[in-house]
Structure 1
Amino acid sequence: MSQQENRMNIAGTPGAPALRQTLGTVQLWGIAVGLVISGEYFGWSYGWASAGTLGFAVTAIFIALMYTCFIFSFTELTTAIPQAGGPFAYSRRAFGATGGYLAGAATLIEFVFAPPAIALAIGSYLNVQFPELNPKWIAVGAYLVFMTLNIAGVQLAATFELLITVLAIGELLVFMGVVSPGFSMANFVRGGWAGQDAFSTAAIPGMLAAIPFAIWFFLAIEGVAMAAEEAKNPRRSIPIAYIAGILTLVVLAIGVMVFAGGVGDWTKLSNINDPLPQAMKAIVGADSGWLHMLVWLGLFGLVASFHAIILGYSRQIFALAREGFLPRRLATIHPRFRTPHLAVLAGGVVGIAAIFSDQWVSFGGQTLTANIVTMSVFGAITMYIVSMLSLFKLRRSEPDLVRPWRAPGYPWVPGFAVMAALVCLVTMVYYNFLIFCVYLGLLAAGYAMLLLSRGKPAATPAVETI
């Protein structure tokens, strides 16, 4: 099969815009880890506030098992249907337009709302060094810089992503090494069940409420699926990237959580955006060069995820628009850079609006970052459920579909993934009902617009000639 024919097959529609296939296995691993690694730097510590360190550890282990089962199963879909739409493409093939919309819209909410939370954390990290700077305006500046880099070309973006991901991993290892002399397991376990008795039923509500923040440890790793259309050999490289990526992240999550919680009073880290610099400050002091190094190099982890998720949301917008689920103009490809530049910009507009949303909306007394994280997680959990159901459906409806990778332990491994995701969804609705209502409102509004647009003449988008 020629490269042009392969692109037509991936895109699904002859003559539809196609992305350039340039990404190798190591770059895909960099994207897989980079998408998530900011979750090791912030966000997860909010779970300590409700569950304590030990209660949250139990929650995190459950979520890590769910993600491991999910990734081993999701890889079957990604390698069998390597399209930029990822979950949208799988669910549409399994359940038609409605299923495709649900998965696509949920994924879009996940990937559009994750970057503003990360951008705010970037602002908080830089605010440590420059207190006079407003973290929100730093976040806006981050959007402008990394949207530009994503538009400039996927090969450049992926190479940059790999570099900063490796640096971010190194920085997390440095953090563990620097704080290790002051580590005490007694600190980590003190009040570790949020004031409740160990393994008592009274500790369970806090552990359940912490689920969104445990998910933040691994959120968005599935975004590699949205780069599948740009991979040189997706059926070989994606399984390697996914499996190596999830193993890397599990090890880092455990290390960061344990070392940060063992350096002093962990309750002081449970409601802030920069727990690692504050944990290190307790060991080396506010004027230490190690602390300044962590603040600056710690930005690599945040930037890695921020940059990679911009790549992810732009491909999701591109795929939905290419199939008419969003305005087709958003599927326009830049003539020089061969990237979906309008999709990059559209997601950025929504993200920047979310950064300033606390000026007119607030939910449940949580911080803006916590609310944005929760909204993103609602989208992720919905997508996980629909994707696993698509796996089961396609196994029955298309038994002859070429599957370079098959989910191990089928049906038990994907079955556990979908059941665990359902537990997460029910729990999150209970503890975050107002945010869930907003989430449902976004899904309903998008579906109404889709129904209203049906019957209009379809036009295949073209490469923009500017």
Structure 2
Amino acid sequence: MTLSIKPTLKKSLSGLHLWGIAVGLVISGEYFGWSYGWDQAGTLGFLVTTILIAVMYTTFIFSFTELTTAIPHAGGPFAYSYRAFGPLGGFLAGFATLIEFVFAPPAISLAIGAYLNVQFPGLDPKLAAVGAYVVFMALNIAGVTIAATFELLVTVLAIAELLVFMGVVSPGFSFTNFVANGWSGESGFSFGSLSGIFAAIPFAIWFFLAIEGAAMAAEETKDPRTTVPKAYIAGILTLVFLAFGTMIFAGGVGDWKALSNINDPLPQAMKVVVGESSGWLHMLVWIGLFGLIASFHGIIMGYSRQIFALARAGFLPAVFSTVHPSRKTPHWAILAGGVIGIAAIFSDSFISIGGLPLTANIVTMSVFGAIVMYIMSMAALFRLRQSEPALDRPFRAPFYPVFPAIALAMAVVALITMIYFNPMVFGLFVGLMAAGWLFYRFTAHLRAAAPGDGLLSVGGIETIAQTEARSLVD
């Protein structure tokens, strides 16, 4: 059988670029989204939730890095699960990751609209969100080096702005404000407080969601064996510090309940301290947009690589694996994810369910995809340690098997509790996965035509169809 040529992406990213992508993918989570967790758990309850989720993410990233360096593939989790469990495992991880990365941008774009609405009250936030899609899809199509350099710049500015926020509001911070009615349910800790801690899990995950997306840039990174571990470890440490600092300082400036159900908690928190006409407030709105833009731009890069990798492997139509002839970027994949995201922005009656705002439900949908992918990735790590002990692993998960076991167990607990508290959103998630499965089930011809891929197969290059046939026999 003659193998077709595998479409490839240009290797041009440095370790600093990758750190910028890892942090930039996530940093919008410090600017909005997390405060919905206060509505569920109170400040103290959500602090407990965030500590637990920070432990999950730290152990996960140290374990996930082993997979990223051993299999530097644009499909990221799709590639790891495919290699560990075959096509079905690849499907589950790949489509879950796709849901995570396609549904995160519309939530962020709505926050961009909300921030702009602070400056321009007459501006429709949804139209601003659509405008953000148009601008940053174009930037991603322009070229990966341009896109990654821009991502690094806005990430650094967003980090600086969060530090400025903490400094400006610190004179108005009071720990008494932060702990006032800090547990959900009855006054003081109760069973209702415990329930709130679990209900707030999706919003604590939003602090760190999508850091794993840097794995999808590994195929475009120079020397991923050394740059990926440094970028990931520095990235998770940066984000843990910013998450706790932002949350604690915002919660201590006044009545935190006023910030618990809105898309722009930081400008509103600063307004309490410095007043509505302060230059600090306007600076936060404008520079704070860089945090949202960093994540929005970076996740567009992430979803496009996931669509590209799935299409290249025959799990989506082949057109989405097309690379622009001069820019060498997956332009059709970038546009496809944008169409879905823009549709989600205007889907209030479809996604705004369960009594929560549209943004909160989009966040929850994205988190469902992330949690399923985390479970599949950690399971793949354990499987590959057994099935391929000789696989070249430039970075090995520390404290194995403890770290990946902690990440896996906590992800399973998070999934169970999220299903309990968000059954309707989970139903939509299952529906999307089922639609993906039907497409997969009846498109074997796409995988038959897919090129060989040595990173997906064990012991050499074979076609996707050959791997699929072998897995059925096994």
Which TM-score band (shorter chain)? over 0.9
How far off is 1:50 after superposition?
A: 1.2
414, 434, 438: which one aligns with 1:424: 414
Partner of 1:77: 67
In 2, Cα distance between the equivalents of 1:198 and 1:402?
52
1:35-46 alignment runs, 5 A limit: 35-46=25-36
Deviation string, structure 1 residues 98-124 (Cα, Å, up to 9, x no partner): 000000000000000000000000000
Provide the residue aligned with 1:384 in structure 2: 374
One-letter code of the match for 1:147?
Answer: M
Matches within 5 A, 1:314-353: 314-353=304-343
Residue from 184, 203, 209 that aligns with 2:199: 209
Of the candidates 103, 111, 124, which is equivalent to residue 134 of structure 1? 124
Post-superposition offset of 1:14: 6.1
Q: How does 1:145-156 map to 2 (within 5 A)?
A: 145-156=135-146
- In 1, are the aligned partners of 2:317 and 2:446 still within 8 Å (CA)? no
Query: What is the rounded CA distance, in whole Å, between the counterparts of 1:398 and 1:219 in structure 2?
Result: 29
Q: Is 1:19 aligned to 2:48, yes or no?
A: no
- Residue among 112, 115, 121 paired with 2:102: 112
C-alpha separation in 1, matches of 2:350 and 2:405: 41
Q: Which runs of 5+ in 2 are unaligned?
A: 452-474
Distance apart, 1:198 and its partner CA: 4.2
Q: Which amino acid aligns with 1:98?
A: L
Instruction: Quote how far apart the aligned CAs of 1:458 are.
Output: 3.9
Separation in 1, partners of 2:251, 2:49: 15
Which residue pairs with 1:367 in the alignment?
357
TM-superposed CA distance for 1:202, in Å, is 2.7
Correspondence for 1:246 among 228, 236, 250: 236
1:295-324, Cα deviation, whole Å (9 max, x unpaired): 000000000000000000000000000000
Q: Do residues 184 (structure 1) and 174 (structure 2) align?
A: yes
Q: Which residue of structure 2 aligns with residue 277 of structure 1?
A: 267
**What is the match of residue 442 of structure 2?**
452
How big is each residue's C-alpha offset from its partner over 1:315-356, in whole Å with a ceiling of 9 and x where there is no partner?
A: 000000000000011000000100000000000000000000
Alpha-carbon distance in structure 2 between the residues aligned to 1:421 and 1:460: 33
Distance in structure 1 (CA, Å) of the matches to 2:254 and 2:186:
20
Query: Residue type of the partner of 1:154?
Result: V
Counterparts of 2:309 and 2:217, CA distance in 1: 11
Mapped pair 1:89 → 2:95: no
Question: CA contact under 8 A between 2:351 and 2:361: conserved in structure 1?
Answer: no
Shift of 1:280: 0.3
CA deviation vs aligned residue, 1:156-213 (integer Å, no higher than 9, x gap): 0000000000000000000011101100000000011125354433310011000000
Distance 1:166 1:160 in 2: 10
Equivalent residue for 1:219, pick from 201, 205, 209: 209
Partner Cα distance (2:200, 2:294) in 1: 25
Q: Which runs of 5 or more residues in structure 1 are unaligned? A: 1-12, 462-466
> Contact (CA 8 Å) 2:181, 2:188: kept in 1 or not?
no
Aligned residue in 2 for 1:6: none
1:295-310 equivalent positions in 2, closer than 5 A? 295-310=285-300
Number of the residue aligned with 2:219? 229
SS at match of 2:315: coil
Counterpart CA distance in 1 for 2:367 and 2:91 is 18
Whole-angstrom distance in 2 between the partners of 1:436 and 1:456: 29
Work out whether residues 19 and 235 of structure 2, in 8 Å CA contact, stay in contact via their aligned partners in 1: yes
| Contact in 2 for aligned 1:83/1:225 (Cα 8 Å) | yes
Cα deviation, residue 365, structure 1: 1.1
Q: TM-score scaled by structure 1?
A: 0.95
Amino acid in structure 1 at the alignment position of 2:85: F
Q: Deviations over 1:406-442 (max 9, x none)?
A: 0111111100000000000000000000110110011
Counterpart residue identity of residue 401, structure 2: P
**Distance 1:457-1:265 versus aligned 2 partners, 3 A rule:** closer
**How far apart are the structure 2 equivalents of 1:82 and 1:454?**
25
Q: Which whole-Å CA distance do the structure 2 matches of 1:166 and 1:261 have between them? A: 24
Letter matched to residue 99 of structure 1: G
CA–CA distance in 1 between the matches of 2:186 and 2:44? 11
Q: Which residue of 2 aligns with 1:103?
A: 93
The residue number in structure 2 matching 1:286 is 276
Cα displacement (A) at 1:459: 3.7
Task: Please report the RMSD computed on the Cα atoms of aligned residues, expressed in angstroms.
Answer: 1.1
Asked whether the 8 Å contact 2:31–2:288 carries over to 1, the reply is yes
